[in-house]
Structure 1
Amino acid sequence: MISTISGGPTLAGTSNNSIKHYVRSTYAHQVFSAEQGRLPKTYKSGWAPITFCEEEERGVILPQDNLIIIRADISNLVGRILLDTGSSVSVMFAEAFNELQVPSHLLDRSITPLVSFSGEVVQPIRSIHLPISIGSAPQWRTITTPFLIIDCPTAYNVILGRPAMAQMKVFISTHMLLLKFPTPYGTGTVRGDQLGPRSYYASAVKSTNRQHRGEALAAEPVEDLELVTLDEDIQDRQVRIGTSLSQELRSDLVAFLRLNSEVFAWSYNDMPDILPEIISHRLSINPAVRPVRQKRRAYDPEQYEAIRAKVDKLTSIEFIKEVDYPTWLANVVMVRKGTKG
């Protein structure tokens, strides 16, 4: 999740000169107004005052501190749209963009990198101008705004940034998860979802915690794979190769793998007498720390049988050896392997 975003196609532009001019014009306007002894000129809005009242918090489970997640029409009905006043651009994530099936010729190749809250630079894929509508008829509002297409995992489909909300003249009540905006037919309202943000937040925190603990996340191959048998007499000796190879390269690769099939370890018996100088495993235990003895755990018959079979296999090929201790030390950790190879 990109929490706070800087950069992108803002009013300040992307070049150093345009950004400097953007800052100077604001400063000059304030100085001129102060010297003239009057406030900057304001424009008539042409719409009624927008207010929030206590009755409008009905239906909101309090206390709450949820993000504001809404639905909107962006070439189609899109959910999980995060309103982020800390973002200088609107972002659409690649998975959601692909679902919209927008013609590729509408994409703009002129893009600038984004800077996240942590200072990490994120490179967008493309940018595109799309219409977005919020509210319900007749109190609804439609604008066309640029979206940067980002390819990264996230719990959201779209992050609606500050420029788009300013263009819609959106007023937000985070307390009531409510946004209002003026329309020619009165004030439009959109209520944020309360259940969704909590589940999205829990998923994001859980994923972050897993990464901090160093847990391995399931990885998907970048392309489809095919099984290739290296020995016709032993059908279970197979490897996987990519399907995007040319026919000539595939033939050369398969021939090479079959020629060198003896270097593969198909079972424990294919790895006898590994020298400790090549690889070894040991536990780095601080001798000054008192060891903790676990309480012995009971297993069901199926687990006992699996443990016995594994120990017998490793003992028979001398991967492990039996040692005696006067007291119980630790339990066996059972890990079920996946069904896929």
Structure 2
Amino acid sequence: MISTISGGPTLAGTSNNSIKHYVRSTYAHQVFSAEQGRLPKTHKSGWAPITFCEEEERGVILPHDDPIIIRADISNFDVGRILVDTGSSVSVMFAEAFNELQVPSHLLDRSITPLVSFFGEVVQPIGSIHLPISIGLAPQRTTITTPFLIIDCPTAYNVILGRPAMAQMKVFISTHMLLLKFPTPHGTGTVRGDQLGARSCYAPAPVQAGTERPEDPREESVTPQAEPVEDLELVTLDENIPDRQVRIGTSLSQELHSDLVAFLRLNSEVFAWSHNDMPSISPEIISHRLSINPAVRPVLQKRRAYDPERYEAMRAEVDKLTSIGFIKEVDYPTWLANVVMVRKGTKGWRMCVDYTNLNRACPKDSFP
């Protein structure tokens, strides 16, 4: 869930000059008002005053802190689960809903800046597109064309309607009554929020009896090991190297047992008995590169400190991987990802890398 969204296309533009001009225009407007003692004349649209009264509370379950979830027509489709969010600087449509609109993907504008969530996480949109959106019932109905950023991430909503679209429709909001009102040439239009739909978006998943909270993968917990469905026996594949052994089931028939052992001994070279038996793969055959968003700044994680046992395990693992050419040393003066040591279920340590920041900087990658 993106709690608060900033970034994207706004009236201020994207360049530094346009943003500075946008700020200066506000300052000039305030200075003019102070000198003249009055506000400059603006174009009057002629719509009637919009008010809220106590009778409009009917049908709303009180007290509540539910968000405003509405329905609207977007590109001639009836779209539900639209979150009205005054904290969002852009209107967002999620990829699953966008695909249902049957809008050709080549119409998307790909030259867009990333979004920044409340926690500082960077979200890279797929693209942006201008779509018509209509709210209200005829004749008190308003229609505008507004840009939507298309985001591919799991969410309970189809669309997040941001400030620019609401300002364009001159929407007045009562969060207490879950009610939107807006002027139209035929009077004041109203849209009531779906309180049941809002609560279903926030409904927690049922917790079964005896279940515990999900474990944090960063915690050093022992992973339960899968158990075999039958008893196993050790079979030595090479009498000259007695430690090269495999396990096979004891429920096999004598004939099948003999055939299987003979087959394994004949093909014992396909097993990787050590890291040296796993040579590197040539990049001419296959390679994988991370698609990192160039707009994301490198992150220098705070260096973690470990006890001597973990340091010794790190040193042994790095030396082993370096000696066979699996890894190489590279200096990154402005970027660092910490090593995380996780205790194995049997004995020893498993060395992992904290790639949390790197994952946030990469768009969705289909590489398994």
Band of TM-score, shorter chain? 0.5 to 0.7
Cα contact 2:7–2:113 (8 A) shared by 1: yes
Pairing partner for 2:212 from 195, 209, 214: 209
Cα contact 1:180–1:187 (8 A) shared by 2: yes
Task: Give the deviation of 1:87 after TM superposition.
Answer: 0.4
Task: Give the deviation of 1:234 after TM superposition.
Answer: 26
Cα 1:336–1:163 change in 2 (3 A) is same
Cα 1:321–1:209 change in 2 (3 A) is farther
Cα contact 2:90–2:162 (8 A) shared by 1: yes
Task: Give the deviation of 1:39 after TM superposition.
Answer: 2.4
Q: Cα deviations across residues 250-274 of structure 1 (Å, max 9, x unaligned)? A: 9999999999898789999999999
TM-score, L = length of structure 1? 0.62
Further displaced range: 213-222 or 83-92: 213-222
Cα contact 2:222–2:343 (8 A) shared by 1: no
Q: Could you say what secondary structure the match of 2:281 adopts? A: coil
Within 1, Cα distance between the matches of 2:102 and 2:295?
A: 63
Cα 1:273–1:12 change in 2 (3 A) is closer
Cα contact 1:155–1:203 (8 A) shared by 2: no
Within 1, Cα distance between the matches of 2:112 and 2:334?
A: 66
- Structure 1 gaps, min length 5: none
Task: Tell me the residue number matched to 1:25.
Answer: 25
Within 2, Cα distance between the matches of 1:37 and 1:95?
A: 52
Cα 1:68–1:30 change in 2 (3 A) is same
Cα 1:134–1:240 change in 2 (3 A) is farther
Within 1, Cα distance between the matches of 2:19 and 2:332?
A: 73
Within 2, Cα distance between the matches of 1:19 and 1:285?
A: 27
Cα contact 1:72–1:133 (8 A) shared by 2: yes
Task: Tell me the residue number matched to 1:291.
Answer: 298
Q: Could you say what secondary structure the match of 1:189 adopts? A: strand
Task: Give the deviation of 1:303 after TM superposition.
Answer: 39
Further displaced range: 216-225 or 122-131: 216-225
Task: Tell me the residue number matched to 1:332.
Answer: 339
Within 2, Cα distance between the matches of 1:21 and 1:325?
A: 38
Cα 1:33–1:270 change in 2 (3 A) is closer
Task: Give the deviation of 1:37 after TM superposition.
Answer: 2.1
Task: Tell me the residue number matched to 2:182.
Answer: 181
Within 2, Cα distance between the matches of 1:136 and 1:176?
A: 19
Cα 1:335–1:202 change in 2 (3 A) is farther
Cα contact 2:221–2:343 (8 A) shared by 1: no
Within 2, Cα distance between the matches of 1:190 and 1:100?
A: 22
Further displaced range: 272-281 or 185-194: 272-281
Q: Cα deviations across residues 269-313 of structure 1 (Å, max 9, x unaligned)? A: 999999999999999999999999999999999999999999999
Cα 1:162–1:230 change in 2 (3 A) is farther
Within 2, Cα distance between the matches of 1:262 and 1:7?
A: 56
Cα contact 2:222–2:344 (8 A) shared by 1: no
Q: Sequence identity, in percent?
A: 90
Cα 1:258–1:215 change in 2 (3 A) is farther
Cα 1:183–1:299 change in 2 (3 A) is same
Cα contact 1:145–1:164 (8 A) shared by 2: yes
Cα contact 2:272–2:278 (8 A) shared by 1: yes
Within 1, Cα distance between the matches of 2:34 and 2:331?
A: 88
Within 2, Cα distance between the matches of 1:277 and 1:46?
A: 70
Cα contact 1:269–1:317 (8 A) shared by 2: yes
Further displaced range: 87-96 or 26-35: 26-35
CA RMSD of aligned residues (A): 15.9
Task: Give the deviation of 1:314 after TM superposition.
Answer: 32
Q: Could you say what secondary structure the match of 1:322 adopts? A: coil
Pairing of 1:98-247 with structure 2 (within 5 A):
98-203=99-204
Further displaced range: 163-172 or 236-245: 236-245
Cα contact 1:30–1:40 (8 A) shared by 2: no
Q: Could you say what secondary structure the match of 1:203 adopts? A: coil
Aligned residue-pair number: 338
Cα contact 1:229–1:238 (8 A) shared by 2: yes
Q: Cα deviations across residues 170-216 of structure 1 (Å, max 9, x unaligned)? A: 00000000001111111111000001111211349x99996xx9899
Task: Give the deviation of 1:15 after TM superposition.
Answer: 0.8
Cα contact 1:71–1:81 (8 A) shared by 2: yes
Cα contact 1:124–1:148 (8 A) shared by 2: yes
Task: Give the deviation of 1:32 after TM superposition.
Answer: 1.7
Within 2, Cα distance between the matches of 1:3 and 1:110?
A: 24
Cα 1:329–1:274 change in 2 (3 A) is same
Within 1, Cα distance between the matches of 2:159 and 2:233?
A: 35
Cα 1:163–1:295 change in 2 (3 A) is closer
Cα 1:268–1:135 change in 2 (3 A) is same
Within 1, Cα distance between the matches of 2:243 and 2:30?
A: 78
Cα contact 2:220–2:343 (8 A) shared by 1: no
Q: Could you say what secondary structure the match of 1:55 adopts? A: helix
Further displaced range: 5-14 or 246-255: 246-255
Task: Give the deviation of 1:148 after TM superposition.
Answer: 0.3
Cα 1:291–1:248 change in 2 (3 A) is same
Further displaced range: 103-112 or 3-12: 103-112
Cα 1:17–1:313 change in 2 (3 A) is closer
TM-score, L = length of structure 2? 0.57
Task: Give the deviation of 1:138 after TM superposition.
Answer: 1.1
Task: Give the deviation of 1:164 after TM superposition.
Answer: 0.2
Cα 1:180–1:274 change in 2 (3 A) is closer
Within 1, Cα distance between the matches of 2:319 and 2:2?
A: 51
